[in-house]
Amino acid sequence: MQIALAISLGMGVTGEAVRNRFRRGAAWAQARFWQCADIGLMMRLCRLPVTPGVRALRDRLRGVTCERLRRELVDMPDGIGYPVAMRRRTMLDAAVCSAAPSVMPMLEACAAQLDEAMLRASRRGVPPVLAPLHVCSDITATVVAALTTPRRTHVFSIYGQERIGFMEARHLQAHGITVIQHAPDASPGAHRAIMRELRERAANLVIFPDILPQFSEAYLGYPMRTRDVSLFGRQARLHVGAETFARMAGGGILPFYVHWEADRLAICIFDACDDLDDVARCLEQALRAHGDQWLLWHYASLFYFNDSAER
């Protein structure tokens, strides 16, 4: 038994080492590829139906829900199809995490605009909580936030530290970009440290206000706190995280989103908000303007029918 256990443990260690080596090799190869690849060309190639079989079927099924909800909610019959939007997000995520030369100047330009808006939105010296929307790519929005002064950003995500992998985070840090990822159930001590850095302008804080309650509950296995707002004339629910942290810090909420304008990335920044009711108005405007680039249409309940979510 001891011999079998030793062999088993040895195989486990070896297997993990092989997986780590493979991940490092894949990250290195990805970074090398994006040093010469053109993001505009790669986005155009995303129109080709090259998604693997199972994922292609899933995206087609989700696309049916997506198209229906677009028509019903914002009267948007045309635009980027859901499968294409998913391929574009995957491609852009890889380019951003590799600090691709064809992408970084666009991200820096967006960050410069966001920096100016943050200065205007600061209250009593406290910067706003940044509230990007899931348009185009959540990783891209996070990195744009991290490129603002002081180039250090905390982000809360249901994925915890899984959204930006270790190797990708190291690659971004090599380019002076620090992204610190937190799960929603981070400790009170972590909350206090984030608040201290925010008030001292030593870091920014990113919280996505448009994550769907049904999505977060399905992923985490438990409901997160939400509250009622009016969205497109109906009672809906949004997560309270951005509102709660803004009040704790004594600042406002600054919604924004990064989107494609032809072959270039652009940023749309709203006026600073006091609460989630204001954020809901920004979300309505974003979905009407660039709803075909919003990534969460595939949940039929949207923000409306999540009765198990904790208020």
Residue 275 is assigned to a structural domain of this protein: yes
Residue 261 is assigned to a structural domain of this protein: yes
Residue 70 is assigned to a structural domain of this protein: no
Residue 207 is assigned to a structural domain of this protein: yes
Residue 282 is assigned to a structural domain of this protein: yes
What total number of domains does the chain contain? 1
Residue 30 is assigned to a structural domain of this protein: no
Residue 150 is assigned to a structural domain of this protein: yes
Nearest alpha-carbon partner for 205 in 180, 187, 183? 180
Sequence-ordered strand ranges (E) for 188-289: 204-207, 226-231, 234-239, 253-261, 264-269
Residue range 43-89, pLDDT digits in tens: 999 888 776 667 778 888 888 888 888 888 888 767 888 889 999 99
For residue 179, list its beta bridge partners.
153
In the chain, the amino acid numbered 207 is I
Per the confidence metrics, is the pTM higher than 0.85?
yes
Residue 155 is assigned to a structural domain of this protein: yes
Question: Domain range for residue 172?
Answer: 103-293
How many residues in the chain?
311
Residue range 275-306, pLDDT digits in tens: 999 999 999 999 999 999 999 998 888 887 54
